[in-house]
């Protein structure tokens, strides 16, 4: 939106992001250049060709706003108007160049993976479709209100083998979308896709977007390191798409399924329950394979996940998780898009390991649902002391203190340093800092040792 506005003002000649980035880096396909680590181009800036005249540029921007509705807090996104001097509008160009590189490089790597699958490899691209609202051909007005209209969960999948492509949609009356429901939807699909391979597959590659409640969380990592091995796989990778780039082939499957159902309703068919939707779909001539997932199928996976699963540091920054032995995963907190499990030996991959085999002995993670609790959080690789101000879903808002130099002395900045963090960003829970003087505080000896260990 900033580039569009600058182009309208004649300050830039193009509104193409790719053209602008290529003008300030040596090579747009080189990770060092796009991560702004190249000694030759790291100081290059976007050149303005039009007159600036110290004018203020106004543009629209999407921002996350926390609102309170009936004593409950939730996050909403609003398009707001912002203004700044033209020269200041590109202060955040470095994070965007990294995002651009991650997206393009990941897309290319995953495309190459699909086109170079071996006979013993299976690749599946998955996504939840928006729940389907059951419909009748003729409805009375009260049917629109209350809980009369039922919904059906639709989980879509496109499976790639060495010689063909297959599409799947699993239908369920259970509206759960958590990681255990995900594997309940995946199990029959993977079993069927395995039979479509020329030889029994030993490697499984999963591609998805990265919502925390569904795919990118520690319990899903545990299931990833156990369930596929019970099905006969020897290695598995899960590849998370770059933020805001999760659309793909499964979305087309979901649209096809809903179009078939809606067309039937328009022609007089009543689809009042999820069971009606499934019974109708399996009778249609379609290349999509349908499976029914019951509530019991989902609850079966509740028993497979231990109560205490250790957190994986930097979960929100992961792009790939690898498991080459049961109950163990390898991960990296920055981008590595080597497609196969051998990626653990590649030059750009320095893996961290999580062992779930002793998960029953893991200590219970501290509860982070209490306002006022003091914690140490990770921000861009550095620890910060902060206090929880509110909890919104899976995120916590933290007011961070400012450290004076490298000393055990902290103070509250003005204005407050407020930011939302995920649970994976929490390094440790500490006690309330002790008063040092009228304006400063310090950590206890034990907490100071924890803080230094994270520095």
pLDDT in tens, 319-345: 889 998 898 888 765 555 555 554 445
Cβ distance 276 to 270 under 8 Å?
A: yes
Q: Per-residue pLDDT for 379 more than 90?
A: no
Structure tokens at 161: 């083998």
* More confident call, 157 vs 105: 157
The pLDDT tens digits of the residues spanning 226-243 come to: 999 999 999 999 999 988
Q: Per-residue pLDDT for 166 more than 90?
A: yes
Per DSSP, helices labelled H in 205-330 are: 218-224, 227-230, 249-266, 274-281, 295-302
Span of 265-269, 282-286, 400-404, 422-426 with lowest mean pLDDT: 422-426
Cβ distance 253 to 156 under 8 Å?
A: yes
- Residue 125's SS3 state is strand
- When mean pLDDT is compared over 43-47, 227-231, 420-424, the highest value belongs to 227-231
Question: What pLDDT score does 365 carry?
Answer: 47
User: What are the residue ranges spanned by the domains of the chain?
Assistant: 2-91, 109-360, 374-454
Q: Give the pLDDT band (50/70/90) at residue 224.
A: very high
Measured distance CA(431)–CA(433) in Å, rounded: 6
Nearest to 329 by CA among 317, 346, 341, 337: 341
Question: What pLDDT score does 303 carry?
Answer: 87
Question: What pLDDT score does 91 carry?
Answer: 66
Q: Per-residue pLDDT for 73 more than 90?
A: no
Q: What would the mean pLDDT of 192-216 be, rounded to a whole number? A: 93
Question: What's the chain's average pLDDT?
Answer: 86
Question: Environment class of residue 77 by beta-carbon count within 10 Å: exposed (0-12), middle (13-18) or buried (19+)?
Answer: exposed
Structure tokens at 236: 């598995």
Q: Give the pLDDT band (50/70/90) at residue 186.
A: very high
Largest distance between two CA atoms of the chain: 77
């Amino acid at each position: 939106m900033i580039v569009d506005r600058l182009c309208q003002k004649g300050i830039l000649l193009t509104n193409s992001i790719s053209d602008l980035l290529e003008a300030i880096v040596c090579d747009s396909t080189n990770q060092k250049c796009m991560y702004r680590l190249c000694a030759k181009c790291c100081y290059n800036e976007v050149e303005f060709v039009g007159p600036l005249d110290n004018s203020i540029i106004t543009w629209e921007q999407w921002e996350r706003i926390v609102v309170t509705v009936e004593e409950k807090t939730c996050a909403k996104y609003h398009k707001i108007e912002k203004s700044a001097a033209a020269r200041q509008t590109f202060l955040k160009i470095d994070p965007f160049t990294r995002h651009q590189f991650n997206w393009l490089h990941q897309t290319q790597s995953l495309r190459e993976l699909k086109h170079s699958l071996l006979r013993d490899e299976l690749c599946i691209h998955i996504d939840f479709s928006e729940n389907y609202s059951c419909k009748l051909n003729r409805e009375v007005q009260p049917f629109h209100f209350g809980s009369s209209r039922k919904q059906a969960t639709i989980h879509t999948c496109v499976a790639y083998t060495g010689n063909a492509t297959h599409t799947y949609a699993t239908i369920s009356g259970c509206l759960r979308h958590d990681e255990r429901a995900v594997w309940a939807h995946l199990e029959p699909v993977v079993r069927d896709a395995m039979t479509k391979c020329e030889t029994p597959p030993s490697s499984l590659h999963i591609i998805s977007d990265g919502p925390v409640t569904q795919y990118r969380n520690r319990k899903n990592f545990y299931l990833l390191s156990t369930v596929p091995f019970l099905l006969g796989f020897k290695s598995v990778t899960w590849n998370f798409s770059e933020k805001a780039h999760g659309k793909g082939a499964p979305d087309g499957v979901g649209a096809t399924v809903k179009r078939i159902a809606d067309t039937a309703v328009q022609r007089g068919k009543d689809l009042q329950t999820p069971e009606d939707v499934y019974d109708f779909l399996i009778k249609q001539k379609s290349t999509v394979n349908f499976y029914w997932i019951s509530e019991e199928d989902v609850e079966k996976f509740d028993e497979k996940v231990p109560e205490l699963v250790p957190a994986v540091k930097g979960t929100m920054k992961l792009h790939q998780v690898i498991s080459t032995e049961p109950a163990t995963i390898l991960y990296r907190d920055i981008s590595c898009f080597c497609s196969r499990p051998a990626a653990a030996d590649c030059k750009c991959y320095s893996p961290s390991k999580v062992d779930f085999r002793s998960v029953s002995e893991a200590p219970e993670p501290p509860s982070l649902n209490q306002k006022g609790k003091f914690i140490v959080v990770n921000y861009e690789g550095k620890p910060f002391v902060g206090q929880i101000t509110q909890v919104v879903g899976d995120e916590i808002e933290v007011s961070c203190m400012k450290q004076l130099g490298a000393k055990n002395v902290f103070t509250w900045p003005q204005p407050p340093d407020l930011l939302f963090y995920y649970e994976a960003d929490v390094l440790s829970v500490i006690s309330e800092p002790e008063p040092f003087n009228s304006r400063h505080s310090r950590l206890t000896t034990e907490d100071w040792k924890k803080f230094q260990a994270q520095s």
